Structure 1
Amino acid sequence: MKVTTARGTIEVGDVGEGRPVVLLHALALSGRLFDPLAADWAARRRVLTPDARGHGGSDWDGRPFTGEDLADDVAALIETVVGGPADVIGMSMGGSTAVLLAERRPDLVSRLVLADATADYGPDRVASWAERAEKAVNVPREKQVDFQIDRWFSPSFVQSRPDEVRRVCDIFVATDSAAHAAACHALGTVDAAGGLGTITAPTLVLVGDEDYATPPTMAEQLATGIPDAHLEVLTATRHLSLIQRPDVWPSIEKHLDS
């Protein structure tokens, strides 16, 4: 459905009833990434899966934006749709967005899950993400897929679940290249490590032990910096852990319900 907020129109999936949880997707994908998880949880909670600006069906005016802009978009969505705090789960880009949201608007985040995420991509983040942005617009999307698959999923998952790999690839290919590039630049602006100590939401940090996009050292920084955060490292798992490892969904629910 389309939701008009003070910060623009956002496309958001909205299924189930009960305590609301907002799922924030990875770079160059959309809220549809979480369709299997949303379907599994819909009987027990209200699941909101927004598209980041320029991704999926959400509007974007074509101008540059920052990580803070992405976080403020989610804040506006929660205020408009929920009217109060919600549990928030962010993966990859969605995880960085969730960190910024929890720092900027702690009143809107009840419990937090950060998967394959970081608060800071390092001293070369601006230059490295600018290079990624250039590739996003200059390389045909189909030709970017092999690079993405290798980052997203371990070889065993690619072999055992080609249907799920194809589903995620289809979302990626359909993403607007200009929005992909703008989001790359936005990730280059993320510098949230200094505010981790201000996060008040009980936090679960997840990371795959084979994740080289946001490696375990970045997850450790989150878990160390956020008060009373808990870290779980998932074996034989790469960057899209919540898709590759549905067996961890129950432990996430346990965190949300505790």
Structure 2
Amino acid sequence: MRPEVRHNVHVRQVLGEGVPIVLIHGVSSSADVWAGVLPALPPDRPIVSYDLRGHGRSPHPPPPWSIDDFVADHLAILDALGIKAADTVGFSLGGLIAQAIAIEHPERVRRLVVAGSIAGRTEEEKERVLARLDRIERLGPYEVAKESVERWFTPEYVAAHPGVHDQVLSRMKELDPVSYAAAYRVLATTDLAAELHRISAPTLAVTGSGDVGSPPHMSERIAATVQQGRSVIIDGAKHSVLQEAPERIAEVIYEHIN
């Protein structure tokens, strides 16, 4: 693995042959969130993951940011690594970034996977996410994090992993509040549902059956609107499917990109 800083992001690269797999994480985490998924991905393929701007070990360019800024960061990585096209996998905000790349730069995406991703928020869902954004901007990530464990994980997972509550609070406490709010604003105010029909890459949309912020109807809409799509709903999981069901996520990704 070769970590580097390129453009506005910190990149981790696993060398291999064939079409690269590029992983894009969500708000408040880092490339580390893929740890449980990586071992089950094709072992002979190049894998690239990176910390989004304002996350992990990446720089913190001054906000405001837009979805286009995240897309530009992603394209800069591909160009720097000489990658013409990749199998692109995005989670949560990463799923929105991946959608935007596939819409505006279809030649850079061979196959697309979006997990826990947004599309077609209802009016009620828009109100809820904007209210959460307001709390984040007023109170900061740590205070809002106290409600995140219940949103992100099932009670069964929390009972089986009693340290997860403290782990989430610790991670959120370390976040830069300005960067976190800037990234969450992009997540809360971006919806590409009207443009999904432009995605030509074969697309897999997957989410947990209990996901509140990215519920099953969104993955089903993505799959039904893109030119070649299918959806998978993982029973007994909430938003943090990469941690709650890493083997199942890796399985459906493997099936889709191989």
Which category describes the TM-score, using the shorter chain as reference length? 0.7 to 0.9
46-55 vs 166-175, greater mean Cα deviation: 166-175
Instruction: Tell me by how many angstroms 1:163 deviates.
Output: 5.2
Counterpart-to-counterpart distance in 2, 1:37 and 1:127: 33
Deviations along 1:200-221, one digit per CA (max 9) or x if unpaired, are: 1111111111111111111121
Task: Kindly indicate whether the alpha-carbon contact (under 8 Å) linking 1:132 and 1:184 is maintained by their aligned counterparts in 2.
Answer: no
- Which consecutive unaligned segments of at least 5 residues does structure 1 have? none
Counterpart-to-counterpart distance in 2, 1:168 and 1:78: 31
Tell me the equivalent position of 1:156: 156
Query: Does 1:53 pair with 2:50?
Result: no
Matches within 5 A, 1:159-174: 159-162=159-162, 170-174=170-174
Distance of aligned partners of 1:247 and 1:37 in 2 relative to their CA distance in 1, 3 Å threshold: closer
Tell me the equivalent position of 2:4: 2
Matches within 5 A, 1:22-33: 22-33=22-33
The amino acid of 1:201's aligned partner reads: A
Instruction: Tell me by how many angstroms 1:145 deviates.
Output: 3.0
Counterpart-to-counterpart distance in 2, 1:9 and 1:141: 22
Instruction: Tell me by how many angstroms 1:36 deviates.
Output: 2.6
Identity among equivalent positions (%) equals 27
Task: Kindly indicate whether the alpha-carbon contact (under 8 Å) linking 2:40 and 2:251 is maintained by their aligned counterparts in 1.
Answer: no
Distance of aligned partners of 1:80 and 1:168 in 2 relative to their CA distance in 1, 3 Å threshold: farther
Counterpart-to-counterpart distance in 1, 2:21 and 2:37: 11
Counterpart-to-counterpart distance in 2, 1:2 and 1:107: 25
Counterpart-to-counterpart distance in 2, 1:78 and 1:150: 36
Counterpart-to-counterpart distance in 2, 1:17 and 1:234: 30
Give the secondary-structure state (helix, strand or coil) at the position aligned to 1:11: strand
Counterpart-to-counterpart distance in 2, 1:208 and 1:129: 18
Distance of aligned partners of 1:162 and 1:112 in 2 relative to their CA distance in 1, 3 Å threshold: farther
The amino acid of 2:251's aligned partner reads: P
Tell me the equivalent position of 1:63: 63
Matches within 5 A, 1:231-250: 231-248=231-248, 249-250=250-251
Instruction: Tell me by how many angstroms 1:113 deviates.
Output: 0.6
Task: Kindly indicate whether the alpha-carbon contact (under 8 Å) linking 1:120 and 1:190 is maintained by their aligned counterparts in 2.
Answer: no
Matches within 5 A, 1:215-234: 215-234=215-234
Tell me the equivalent position of 2:44: 44
Tell me the equivalent position of 1:97: 97
Task: Kindly indicate whether the alpha-carbon contact (under 8 Å) linking 2:21 and 2:88 is maintained by their aligned counterparts in 1.
Answer: yes
Alignment RMSD (CA, Å):
2.3
Counterpart-to-counterpart distance in 2, 1:241 and 1:256: 19
135-144 vs 86-95, greater mean Cα deviation: 135-144
Tell me the equivalent position of 1:254: 255
Counterpart-to-counterpart distance in 2, 1:236 and 1:89: 22
TM-score (norm 2): 0.88
Instruction: Tell me by how many angstroms 1:156 deviates.
Output: 0.9
Counterpart-to-counterpart distance in 1, 2:14 and 2:42: 6
The amino acid of 1:251's aligned partner reads: V
The amino acid of 2:9's aligned partner reads: I
Give the secondary-structure state (helix, strand or coil) at the position aligned to 1:112: strand
Instruction: Tell me by how many angstroms 1:55 deviates.
Output: 1.1
185-194 vs 115-124, greater mean Cα deviation: 115-124
Deviations along 1:58-88, one digit per CA (max 9) or x if unpaired, are: 2232120112221222122122224211111
- Which consecutive unaligned segments of at least 5 residues does structure 2 have? none
Tell me the equivalent position of 2:16: 17
Give the secondary-structure state (helix, strand or coil) at the position aligned to 1:230: strand
The amino acid of 1:88's aligned partner reads: T
Task: Kindly indicate whether the alpha-carbon contact (under 8 Å) linking 2:151 and 2:211 is maintained by their aligned counterparts in 1.
Answer: yes
Counterpart-to-counterpart distance in 2, 1:232 and 1:217: 11
Give the secondary-structure state (helix, strand or coil) at the position aligned to 1:36: coil
Distance of aligned partners of 1:50 and 1:168 in 2 relative to their CA distance in 1, 3 Å threshold: farther
TM-score (norm 1): 0.88
Task: Kindly indicate whether the alpha-carbon contact (under 8 Å) linking 2:201 and 2:228 is maintained by their aligned counterparts in 1.
Answer: no
